[in-house]
């Protein structure tokens, strides 16, 4: 099975700089490259183009331009490589906080585009995986808390041991073909409704 070619969007108001990035990408076999030089409606255009990866070259951006790009990158869940000619510690930290996968200062050369793009994609994938794992852990913790509350309700109302309360929740979940946490949530909700 042939992999779908990577769709890359290059955002740069400077045509000469954009052509350096484009040459580096095309030289490495990336044929689906779109150049966007008008950044006035960039969010809508990104939605329409729907790229796999975004490369942003800002040259010497002022604070407002950086902040606008950072707001954009926070909303877009894609690998983003950003090139700037110069930067400071605050801008670098803001870029990382905004979800920029690779923030390259004074490094725009045709031969560097491919490895930087690969690194941005790898870093984005690793970060996305960590976000998923964190969300799964939070969800599991929340489920555990609900199950513990439901066990406490059953222990108090039916005089069951903790193990017997859990077994009752488990058996009910199996009989209804539902998750234990769903049964526990229903029990906790019903108990709250019956409280005086």
Q: What is the CATH number of the domain that holds 150?
A: 1.10.10.10
Query: 93: which 2 tokens?
Result: 């930290």
Co-location of 23 and 84 in the same domain:
yes
pLDDT the model gives residue 2: 55
Last residue of a domain, one of 75, 108, 141: 108
CA 177 to the chain's CA centroid = 32
Output the pLDDT for position 138.
95
One domain, residues 102 and 15 = yes
Residue 121 within a domain: no
Is the torsion defined by CA of 21, 92, 43, 50 positive or negative?
A: positive
Element (H, E) at 74: helix 63-75
- Domain contains 47: yes
Dist. CA 11–CA 42, nearest whole Å: 9
pLDDT attached to residue 62? 64
For 139, half-sphere exposure in the C-beta direction (CA atoms, 13 angstrom radius) is 8
> Which structural domain range is residue 179 located in?
133-194
Does any domain span residue 116?
no
Q: Same domain, yes or no, for 18 and 79?
A: yes
> Cα–chain-centroid distance for residue 117?
17
Residue 22: per-residue pLDDT: 86
pLDDT of amino acid 98: 76
Give whole-number Cα distances, 104 to 10, 28, 84, 85, 115, in Å. Answer: 15, 19, 6, 8, 12
**Placement of tokens 């990158």 in the chain:** 73
Model confidence pLDDT, tens digit, residues 152-175: 999 999 999 999 999 999 999 999
**Positions in the chain short of pLDDT 70:** 1-3, 61-64, 66, 107-108
**How many structural domains are present in the chain?**
2
What is the structure's pLDDT at 63? 67
- Shared-domain flag, residues 83 and 141: no
């Amino acid at each position: 099975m042939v992999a779908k070619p990577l769709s890359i969007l290059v955002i740069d108001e400077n045509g000469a700089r954009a052509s350096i990035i484009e040459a580096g990408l095309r030289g490495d076999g990336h044929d689906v490259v779109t150049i966007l030089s008008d950044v006035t409606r960039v969010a809508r255009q990104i939605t329409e183009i729907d790229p796999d990866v975004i490369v942003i070259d800002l040259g010497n951006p002022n604070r407002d331009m950086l902040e606008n790009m950072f707001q954009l990158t926070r909303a877009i869940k894609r690998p983003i490589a950003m090139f700037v000619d110069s930067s400071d510690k605050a801008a670098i930290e803001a870029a990382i906080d905004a979800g920029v996968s690779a923030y390259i200062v004074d490094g725009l050369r045709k031969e560097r585009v491919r490895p930087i793009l690969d690194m941005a994609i790898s870093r984005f994938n690793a970060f996305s995986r960590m976000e998923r794992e964190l969300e799964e852990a939070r969800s599991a913790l929340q489920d555990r808390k609900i199950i513990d509350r439901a066990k406490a309700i059953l222990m108090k109302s039916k005089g069951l041991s903790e193990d017997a309360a859990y077994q009752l929740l488990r058996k009910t979940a199996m009989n209804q073909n539902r998750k234990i946490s769903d049964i526990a949530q229903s029990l906790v909700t019903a108990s709250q409704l019956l409280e005086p």
